[in-house]
A and B are shown apart, each in its own frame.
Chain A
Amino acid sequence: MDAHAAKLIGAGIACIALAGAGVGIGNIFGNYLSGALRNPSAAQGQFGNALLGFALAEATGLFGLVMAFIILFAF
């Protein structure tokens, strides 16, 4: 296997990190929604926290994507 093919495979593997981000974001909004249905009056006050959690969870997946970009374009 030449180095170029290995690079492409490595970049593809690095993108698996985004699966974790998907699980995390789904968890956050799923739990937010179930909490909001139980107590709708408190939901509005916690939407900011839900968005914060969304951004934090998404970032970990994007770190994997950045690794893919580094493998593809920096080496």
Chain B
Amino acid sequence: MATTTETAVGTATEAAKAAAGAAEQSGGGLPNPMHQFEIVRYWHLNLFGFDASFTNSALAMVLAVALITAFILYAMRHKSLVPNRIQSVAEMAYEFVENIVRQTAGEEAMAYFPFVFTLFMFILVSNLLGLINIPGVFAPFTSTSHIVITFAMAAFVFLGVTVIGIAKHGVGFLKLFVPSGVPAVMLVLLVPIEVISYFTRPVSLSVRLFANMMAGHTMLKVFGAFVGALGLAGIAPLLFMVPFTGLEFLVAFLQAYVFAILTCIYLNDALHIHH
């Protein structure tokens, strides 16, 4: 008798544990907020041992590039001196980035304007694409919410800026790490700090974009799940969600702006060494 009760209790505890584990996996009955970042392979492809499958991330990036190209080509098809509505939108985007480059990196940096414009438009459209959801037709995927994508861009900016700086100044580029007007004793401390801060640039540049996108989307998903789970009381999280979705649109634009402006600041450092 005693043994049967023991086994029964043991099974009950195990069942409870399993149930708790299941509830934990699904976030206590709510949908997992991390599920939206899952990479799905649409077309399997193996190139020389590397997994080069066409994924939903790749689809989002191709879509972003196609949208930008289509928009610019369509808007500029007349190339009239007095722009119509859509042409002036394209010109506004152009002038916005032009102002960033000219004001932060100077006239010389205009040679790199196409690169900064491409970066800005790609990040902006990728961020905004993730916020559009048409149920059943288009599921959002933000390619910039993965550090692989953002770090690739940031590493490219970092390497490019370093190469430009060395090509322009040669060994003089190392003056970037030596602040001027500082006593020699302090240089022992300051030069390592400058070197470390230079090499953390790609990390901070990429993590800023990726963390903003991931945190924003996770938060929206968590509060969105509350709306459904609370029933009638869900109106409270819904009222919270509406302004926060607006804030996410602002963040999507702001992060593209910040990425572009920091690229220009780094370019300025490499082009005009005035430490």
Is A66 a contact of B211 with CB atoms below 8 Å? yes
Q: Are B261 and A52 closer than 8 Å at their CB atoms?
A: yes
B213: min CB distance to chain A, Å:
10
How does the 8 Å CB contact mask read for B187-210 relative to A, with 1 for contact and 0 for none? 000000000000000001001101
Contact across chains for A58 and B212 when beta carbons are under 8 A apart: yes
Contact of A59 among B207, B214, B257 (CB under 8 A): B207
List the A side residues contacting B212 at CB < 8 Å: 58-59, 62
A59 B261 Cβ-Cβ under 8 A: no
Set of chain B residues within 8 Å of A51, measured between Cβ atoms: 254, 257-258
Considering the chains assembled together, what is the distance between the CA atoms of A11 and B269 in angstroms? 37
Q: Which of B34, B214, B215, B258 contacts A55 (CB 8 A)?
A: B258
State whether A52 and B214 are in contact (beta carbons under 8 Å apart), knowing that A59-B208, A63-B207 are contacts in the complex.
Answer: no
Can you list, as one digit per residue, whether each of A35-75 has a CB less than 8 Å from chain B (1) or not (0)? 00000000000001001101110110011011001000100
Residues 203-245 of chain B, each 1 if its beta carbon lies under 8 Å from chain A, else 0? 0100110111011000000000000000000000000000000
A70 to B6 alpha-carbon distance, docked (Å): 40
Q: Which residues of B contact A58 (CB under 8 A)?
A: 212
How many A residues touch the partner, as a band?
10 to 19
- From A52, A54, A59, B211 is in contact (CB under 8 Å) with A59
Q: Quote the shortest CB–CB distance from B151 to chain A (angstroms).
A: 13
The answer for the CA separation of A54 and B34 in the assembled complex, in Å, is 26
Inter-chain CA distance A55–B207, complex, in Å, is 12
Q: Which residue of the partner chain B has the closest CB to A72?
A: B34
Question: Is the beta-carbon distance between A73 and B34 smaller than 8 angstroms?
Answer: yes
In this assembly, does B126 line the interface, its C-beta being within 8 Å of a C-beta of chain A?
Answer: no
Which A-chain residue is minimally distant from B147 (CB atoms)?
A66
- A73 to B257 CA separation, bound complex (whole angstroms): 30
Q: In whole Å, how far is A2's beta carbon from the nearest beta carbon of chain B?
A: 13
Once the chains are docked, how many angstroms separate the CA of A73 from the CA of B210? Answer: 16
- Asked if B57 CB lies within 8 Å of chain A CBs, one says no
A sample of 8 more A-B contacts (CB under 8 A), given A55-B258, A59-B204, A63-B211, is: A51-B254, A52-B261, A55-B208, A59-B211, A62-B207, A62-B211, A65-B211, A66-B210
22 cross-chain CB contacts under 8 A: A48-B261, A51-B258, A52-B258, A54-B254, A55-B208, A55-B255, A56-B208, A56-B258, A58-B212, A59-B204, A59-B207, A59-B208, A59-B211, A62-B207, A62-B208, A62-B211, A62-B212, A63-B211, A65-B211, A65-B215, A66-B210, A69-B214
